[in-house]
Amino acid sequence: TAAKETLGFQAEVQQLLHLMIHSLYSNKEIFLRELISNASDACDKLRFEAMGKPELFEGDGDLKVRLSYDKAARTLTISDNGIGMSRDEAVRHLGTIAKSGTKEFFSSLTGDSQKDSHLIGQFGVGFYSSFIVADKVTVISRRAGLPAGEGVKWESAGLGDYTVEAVDKAGRGTDIVLHLKEGEDEFLSAWTLKSLVRKYSDHIVLPIVMKKEEWDQEKGESVVKDEDETVNQASALWTRPKAEISDDEYKAFYKHVAHDFEDPLAWVHAKVEGTKEYTQLLYIPGRAPFDMWDRGQDGGVRHGVKLYVKRVFIMDDAKKLMPSYLRFVRGLVDSNDLPLNVSREILQESREIDTIRGGCVKRVLGMLEGLANSDEQTDKDKYATFWKEFGKVLKEGVGEDFANKERIAGLLRFASTHTDAADETVSLADYVARMKDGQEKIYYVTADTFAAAKNSPHLEVFRKKGIEVLLLSDRVDEWVVGHLTEFDGKPLQSVAKGGLDLGKLEDEEEKKAAEKVADEFKDLTEKVKGALGDKVKDVRITLRLTDSPACLVSDEHDVSGNLARILKQVGQ
Ligand code: ADP
Ligand code: MG
């Protein structure tokens, strides 16, 4: 077996460690939540892998997390009998950051510890938070299925490097030993540990156990008994009746499932009964994660809904449970009907999953509509936050989810000439309510920046007549208007396409005058057309403009000027 080796941390790890210790100190106790959360994930992974390979349990299927401490040695140990790590896995998982969104995270850091602590929270705190309270961390682990001689001991002071060496470990799983810093003795107390578990980790489904302690009157101190005591509720939160779950419990559970540091924006918890029985607990995060736009190895973006079957964890990021435009949703679905022993592939194809997915989409859209249409200011504010963080993603749904197109359209928010502000606050229903007498269409302009949209010469006649125009400048807006041709029976119309047809809003006299002018200047337009040659299809006199001398217009069925620009940028 390999001798002890010293390896350097990846540069980003060092940077993260430094930040973590400095900006999260006031929240130092969260290290326990992170380590318990990892232990619980490790047990979930084992349970899943063991479905097809029961020998991985090595005769011990009683999965749990154990907390223990040694006052004399000043160590605190978090142990689990989950999947464990091989030497290579320890090096990879505890020495590097392999997460997507890492680059964005590091480039968004500001140096202001207050702001950065929020960013770290969003990025994921994780294992390295142990170094907030420990000046040395020893990890002893053995992967399930490997022989007892192939354990690994990983050790680091959280500075530039760590060591790894082979050790014997009889039981599979992981022990994380924290050698506490000077002044962190508060964590060497059963009372403190139990109250932290209650505060942060009560919702963990696995039992979290400690050795029982009793007060010894004669000795005048507590003595540790050789008997375990479970210190969390250890019941699946989502199986409990809603009325018995507090908001704080929902929030704590969110932080665990979503690996987030901050509170969620909203959640929905429902038990669906009938031909298909399942429970949904779905959350909208308070902020967009760093990897919302990253495409992973399989080319897909990360999804965040976990699948359970009869309370047993089956998989993370179950892509089939949520469409891509709702990939920011976090939480879980627990089905009573799916078979436990099926492969991921089969699960992904199953009809039950399609039904569940349909139900989840409706539930999430309903939750969003609830916020958007609520009379409560706090809900309205939440919807505004939601839109700011996730609006661009939701817009994808207009072209992605035909069945729910109308509902998604109702949730869209745009900038418009009504306020001329860049914030997207105008719904299509607001627009329709403000339409002029005789106005039949919903007008919009697309451009590659808000300023360009707002200052588009195509708007001149609309401004003059006081007709509202939606100002679209997100790249995805071209996709939206490409798929959303009408709302509430009113067609959407680009102001930059085709002949300007204002329908009943047109002024007959103006139109006649324009036709006359067009006739008079026929020679000029012919000449300009001749001079521009192939570059244009036609040159016309227009009513569109009030200040500008000329503008470019696309044909009704051609790609718009803005889309043509986008396509060129992406190399098409
Ligand atoms: P995350 O949990 O978000 O993946 P962490 O920093 O908490 O990030 O953990 C990094 C990785 O280290 C985990 O993804 C896992 O692969 C590994 N790991 C951490 N703790 C354990 C453990 N108790 N058992 C097995 N693997 C672990
Ligand atoms: Mg973790």
Its ipTM equals 0.99
Structure tokens at 142: 């053995």
Predicted local distance difference test score (pLDDT) of residue 52: 83
- Rounded Cα gap, residues 254 and 242, in angstroms: 15
Question: What DSSP character marks residue 547?
Answer: S
For residue 128, the ligand closest to its alpha carbon is 1
Tens-digit pLDDT string for the chain (572 aa): 568 999 999 999 999 998 888 888 888 999 999 999 999 999 999 988 898 899 999 999 999 999 999 999 999 999 999 999 999 999 999 999 877 788 888 888 888 877 888 788 778 788 999 999 999 999 999 999 999 999 999 999 999 999 999 999 999 999 999 999 999 999 999 999 999 998 888 888 899 999 999 888 888 888 899 999 999 988 889 999 999 999 999 999 998 888 888 899 999 999 998 888 999 999 999 998 877 776 655 555 667 898 888 887 787 777 788 999 999 999 999 998 887 766 667 776 778 888 899 999 999 999 999 999 999 999 999 999 999 999 999 999 999 999 999 999 999 999 999 999 999 999 999 999 999 988 999 999 999 999 999 999 889 889 988 999 999 999 899 999 999 999 999 999 998 876 666 766 677 777 787 788 888 888 888 888 888 888 888 887 776 677 777 777 777 666 666 677 766 766 65
SS (H, E, C) 212-227: EEEEECCCCEEEEEEE
User: What residues are in contact with ligand 1 under a 6 Å CB criterion?
Assistant: 34, 38-39, 41-42, 80, 82-85, 93-94, 124, 126-127, 174, 259
CB atoms closer than 10 angstroms to residue 26: 10
CA of 125 from ligand 1 middle (Å) equals 11
Ligand-binding site membership of 122 (annotated): yes
* DSSP character string of 364-406: HHHHHHHHHT-S-HHHHHHHHHHHHHHHHHHHHHHHH-GGGHH
Ligand-binding site membership of 85 (annotated): yes
CA of 85 from ligand 1 middle (Å) equals 9
Predicted local distance difference test score (pLDDT) of residue 302: 67
Q: Is the dihedral of CA 196, 202, 206, 211 positive or negative?
A: positive
Ligand-binding site membership of 127 (annotated): yes
- CA neighbor of 281 nearest in space, from 268, 266, 263, 262: 268
- CA neighbor of 414 nearest in space, from 398, 436, 438: 398
Predicted local distance difference test score (pLDDT) of residue 549: 76
- Rounded Cα gap, residues 480 and 357, in angstroms: 23
For residue 89, the ligand closest to its alpha carbon is 1
Ligand-binding site membership of 52 (annotated): no
Predicted local distance difference test score (pLDDT) of residue 243: 94
Instruction: Name the residue type at position 16.
Output: L
- Cα-trace Rg, the chain: 30
Please give the number of the atom of ligand 1 that sits closest to the Cα of 99.
4
Q: Whose CA is nearest to atom 5 of ligand 1?
A: 126
Q: Whose CA is nearest to atom 10 of ligand 1?
A: 93
Please give the number of the atom of ligand 1 that sits closest to the Cα of 78.
23
Pocket test for ligand 1, best of 49, 81, 93, 138 (most atoms within 8 A of CB): 93
Confirm if 63 and 206 have CB atoms less than 8 A apart. Answer: yes
Those residues with Cβ within 8 angstroms of residue 384's Cβ, 6 or more apart along the chain or in another chain? 425
CA of 93 from ligand 1 middle (Å) equals 7
Ligand-binding site membership of 446 (annotated): no
CA of 73 from ligand 2 middle (Å) equals 26
Q: Whose CA is nearest to atom 8 of ligand 1?
A: 126
Pocket test for ligand 1, best of 10, 12, 36, 38 (most atoms within 8 A of CB): 38
Confirm if 454 and 489 have CB atoms less than 8 A apart. Answer: no
Predicted local distance difference test score (pLDDT) of residue 286: 94
Q: Under the phi-then-psi rule, with left for phi > 0, alpha for psi from -120 to 50, and beta for the rest, what region is 156? A: beta
Pocket test for ligand 1, best of 12, 19, 31, 41 (most atoms within 8 A of CB): 41
122-126 — which CB contacts under 8 Å span 24+ positions? 122/260, 122/261, 122/262, 122/287, 122/289, 122/290, 123/99, 123/290, 124/99, 124/259, 124/261, 125/20, 125/24, 125/30, 125/34, 125/261, 126/34, 126/38, 126/259
Sheet strands (E) in 168-303: 173-180, 208-216, 221-230, 266-272, 278-284
Neighbouring residues of the ion ligand 2, judged by CB less than 5 Å: 38, 126
SS (H, E, C) 27-77: HCCHHHHHHHHHHHHHHHHHHHHCCCCHHHHCCCCCCCEEEEEECCCCEEE
- Rounded Cα gap, residues 95 and 304, in angstroms: 25
- Rounded Cα gap, residues 38 and 126, in angstroms: 8
Collapse the DSSP code of 175 into the 3-class scheme (helix H, G, I; strand E, B; otherwise coil) and give the result.
strand
For residue 176, the ligand closest to its alpha carbon is 1
Predicted local distance difference test score (pLDDT) of residue 301: 61
Q: What is the dihedral of CA 510, 515, 516, 517, to 10 degrees?
A: 90
Predicted local distance difference test score (pLDDT) of residue 514: 76
Please give the number of the atom of ligand 1 that sits closest to the Cα of 45.
25
Question: What DSSP character marks residue 265?
Answer: S
Ligand-binding site membership of 47 (annotated): no
- 104-136 b/e (C-beta count within 10 Å ≥ 16 → b): bbbeebeeeeeebbebbbbbbbbbbbbbbbbeb
How close are the terminal C-alpha atoms of the chain, in Å?
Answer: 54
For residue 39, the ligand closest to its alpha carbon is 1
